[in-house]
Amino acid sequence: MRGIARNFAFGFAEKYLQAALALASSVILARLLSPAEIGVYSIAAVLTGLAQVFRDLGTGQLLVARRELSMPEQRALLGIALLMGWSLSLVLLVLAEPLAAFYRQPGLLDILRILSLNFLLVPFSSQVTAMLRREMRAGALLQMSASYCFAQFIATIALAAAGFGPCALAWGSFVATLAGFVAALWLQPDGMAWRPAWRGMRALIRPGGLAVTANAIDEIGVVAPDLVAGKLLGAAEVALLGKAQSVLSLFNQAVTSAVSPVVFPLFARQAREGGDPVQAYLSAAACITALSWPFFLFAGWYAAPLVELLYGHQWQGCLPLIRIMCGAAALYSMFSMVRHLLVATGHIAAQARIDAIAVAGRLSLLVPGALAGLQWLAVAVALSLVLRSWLVLRCLRGLYGLELAGLLRPMRKSAMATAAAGAPALLAYAANGGAEPGPWQMLAGAFAGALGWGLAIWLQQHPLAGFLRRAEWQ
């Protein structure tokens, strides 16, 4: 398919820019704000993040995946997005005070009120983003993302340095949303619908509702650890858990989130044109595991210097949490693209069932884990990822006849590359005599591991090495 590699390149550029600015912002804010201040904003962020799932009622996915898309349908989808977004803004304003009282965090009130403003503008920019994804215009998406990220970075750091405390992050988010809205007006594709319509909304609510149900249930599972920790442990513990998860999410920011915006339209296009999206998924999973497995291995071994470098010594309490969750994150990386495969092939209800069972299982593990302490909460998070992986595998077998052996076969080269990366990295780790490695040991391990990994990728002719050679850039 022409231009796929070019779209991947723009996708990676977009996400690397996001990851670089988010990392730089996190490093600076970790020194400007206390763990308790960051923890208060983290609680607000997960609450509004949960509301964000309902914001467009799945209209973004429908804009990308529908076989035919008429102007009346676009207007109806915009009407749904505006109705949901503006309603959620009002709901968040009303609930801000009760939520602040529930978490016994007075500062939460102002943060939630500021964040509610985002829901007024996001429906417009999100529709433009979805249409650009449908047309696979990754260059325009990169420009929109750059506008958003630079605005957020500059505003957040400036306001935090000026003494705005955790509200600096909330105002930075609104400034970014405003910048994204202006960029959407500038970069909108031809024939974009800007006038909402109510006619035809009912026919689109059901498929959109299924998609948003699955997303909402999944988001509950994502934010549940922070919400449970915030209620049962405290704001500082939320911040420690968040920093541990942020280290592990570096891979998602650098790779998975860059691949997803291209993979989903690719799966959808193959499904529309009679191709084989399952084979496309297996190829994507092989490439992802070739990167994810060495990353999580490295993150577990070198957690101490990595955290010291990124966030400073005051965050060393998150080291055991990182090591507990690394293995489960590596396991689930094989299945991270399945959601896009199911939605693209019309199995939205199956994805909703997976999310419902997985989230119910996660919640049943998180509460007793939190009652036992922060490290047991991390164990609960890890076990819930193992459960989700098993549920996804069972779904792949039922819908596509994909057995475990068929899934693992494309991953064998990834396992060999991981071993080739891990052996020299382990030697550098062991050279420290059992003590926590320092930054020089981490750099030596990373360099030696990268050489071993690259050699294994090349000698095996891994799909990751062959992708850019086979793809057409025109």
| Residue 229's pLDDT band (cuts 50, 70, 90) | confident
Task: Say what the pLDDT of residue 60 is.
Answer: 59
Same domain? For 155 and 32 the reply is yes
Q: What is the rounded distance in angstroms from the CA atom of residue 6 to the CA atom of residue 123? A: 28
- pLDDT at residue 346 greater than cutoff 90: no
Q: How confident is the model over 75-103, as a mean pLDDT? A: 84
| Residue 274's pLDDT band (cuts 50, 70, 90) | low
- pLDDT at residue 386 greater than cutoff 90: yes
Q: Which of 239-248, 286-295, 411-420, 465-474 has the lowest mean pLDDT?
A: 465-474
Q: Which of 213-227, 250-264, 276-290, 299-313 has the lowest mean pLDDT?
A: 250-264
Same domain? For 92 and 228 the reply is no
Note the pLDDT tens digit of each residue in 155-203: 999 999 998 888 999 999 999 989 988 888 888 877 777 777 777 666 5
Task: Say what the pLDDT of residue 204 is.
Answer: 59
- pLDDT at residue 329 greater than cutoff 70: yes
392 within a domain of the structure (yes/no) = yes
Q: What is the rounded distance in angstroms from the CA atom of residue 244 to the CA atom of residue 249? A: 9
pTM: 0.64
Q: What is the percent of the chain where pLDDT is above 70?
A: 79
212 within a domain of the structure (yes/no) = no
**Domain ranges, residue 5:** 1-199
**Cβ-Cβ contacts under 8 Å for 163 (sequence gap 6 or more):** none
Note the pLDDT tens digit of each residue in 286-321: 888 888 899 898 888 888 888 888 787 778 888 899
Same domain? For 278 and 372 the reply is yes
Task: Say what the pLDDT of residue 55 is.
Answer: 63
352 within a domain of the structure (yes/no) = yes
Task: Say what the pLDDT of residue 472 is.
Answer: 41
216 within a domain of the structure (yes/no) = no
Q: How confident is the model over 412-426, as a mean pLDDT? A: 86
The domain total for the chain is 2
- pLDDT at residue 208 greater than cutoff 60: no
Same domain? For 90 and 238 the reply is no
Q: Which range among 36-50, 212-226, 314-328 has the greatest average pLDDT?
A: 314-328
End-of-domain residue from the set 166, 199, 232: 199
208 within a domain of the structure (yes/no) = no
Q: Which of 38-42, 118-122, 250-254, 440-444 has the lowest mean pLDDT?
A: 250-254
62-66 own/partner pairs: CB under 8 Å, 24+ apart:
62/204, 62/207, 62/208, 62/211, 63/127, 63/130, 63/131, 63/133, 63/134, 64/130, 64/133, 64/134, 64/264, 64/265, 64/268, 65/264, 65/268, 65/343, 65/344
- pLDDT at residue 119 greater than cutoff 80: yes
Q: What is the rounded distance in angstroms from the CA atom of residue 215 to the CA atom of residue 355? A: 8
Same domain? For 153 and 227 the reply is no
Q: Which two tokens stand for residue 448?
A: 């030696």
Task: Say what the pLDDT of residue 2 is.
Answer: 45
Task: Say what the pLDDT of residue 124 is.
Answer: 81
Residue 425's nearest CA partner among 439, 446, 440, 443 is 446
Same domain? For 258 and 169 the reply is no
- pLDDT at residue 471 greater than cutoff 50: no
Same domain? For 47 and 122 the reply is yes
25 within a domain of the structure (yes/no) = yes
Same domain? For 227 and 195 the reply is no
Same domain? For 167 and 271 the reply is no
User: What single letter denotes the amino acid at residue 136?
Assistant: M
Average per-residue pLDDT for the chain: 79
Chain CA centroid to CA 108, Å: 24
End-of-domain residue from the set 140, 166, 199: 199
156 within a domain of the structure (yes/no) = yes
Same domain? For 134 and 240 the reply is no
Note the pLDDT tens digit of each residue in 445-454: 888 888 888 8
Same domain? For 290 and 324 the reply is yes
Same domain? For 115 and 68 the reply is yes
Task: Say what the pLDDT of residue 468 is.
Answer: 46
End-of-domain residue from the set 148, 166, 199: 199
- pLDDT at residue 473 greater than cutoff 50: no
Residue 300's nearest CA partner among 362, 371, 378, 372 is 378
213 within a domain of the structure (yes/no) = no
